[in-house]
Amino acid sequence: MKKLFRNIWNQFLGHSTDGYFRVPETPQDLPNPENDTPWAGTLKLSMEKFNKITRKDGHGSPAFYAIVGLVLAVITLVEFLVFYVESLGVLLIPIMLVLSLMKFVIVVAFFMHLRFDNKIFTILFFAGFVLAVVIGIVLLILLAIKP
């Protein structure tokens, strides 16, 4: 764990492992290497870590699912608390939609295993989902127009 943090920290600052700044060893006529800025390396490393954690043996471990469940519970709590903030006004609706979309995506991706599974399931499910959303939006627009 300590090694991981040090690695991320070094990537973040652009340090090499011996305590000096990493100097890209590139001849003048070649393009710059991919990780020649501190930020690019951090993003790539964290995406790699995320992929490794969420795709362990094609399925998550029970501990991973427990953490996902905790995240869902926290989002629900945030929704509940945001509901009582009176100064939000019109902003309440987009905030609630974004929070519930986050919960939706987390459940579908991890609990329903779509992230680990065959792409055909994702296509079939979202065909129905997108159609339902589009029909809903079209209905709302059509019936909001008053003759």
Partner 1 sequence: MSTAVEEHVNSTGVDNKKLMMWIFLGSDCLFFGSFISTYLVYRNRSLAGPYPNEILDIPLTTVSTFVLLMSSLAMVLAVSYVQRGSQVLGRYYTLATALLGLVFMGFQVYEFSHFAHLGLTPRTNIFGSTFFVMTGFHGGHVTFGVIWLVIFAVSRLAETMKQKLLIIGSVFSVIIAMAGTMMTHTLDVIPNIPTIVAFSVFGIGLIGTIGSLYLLKNSDNQNIETIKKEEGNLELAGLYWHFVDIVWIVIFTVVYLISANDGAPLI
- Give residues in contact with partner 1 (CB under 8 A): 59-62, 65-66, 68-69, 72-73, 76, 79-80, 83, 92-93, 96-97, 99-100, 103-104, 107-108, 110-113, 118, 120-121, 124-129, 131-133, 135-136, 139-140, 143
Question: Which DSSP symbol is given to 33?
Answer: P
Nearest to partner 1 of 27, 89 (CB atom): 89
Quote helix, strand, coil % in the chain, to nearest 5: 70, 0, 25
**Cβ atoms of 133 and 98 closer than 8 Å:** no
Nearest to partner 1 of 38, 69 (CB atom): 69
Minimum CB–partner distance for residue 37 and partner 1 (Å): 39
**Cβ atoms of 24 and 32 closer than 8 Å:** yes
The enclosing H or E element of 137 equals helix 119-144
Nearest to partner 1 of 47, 101 (CB atom): 101
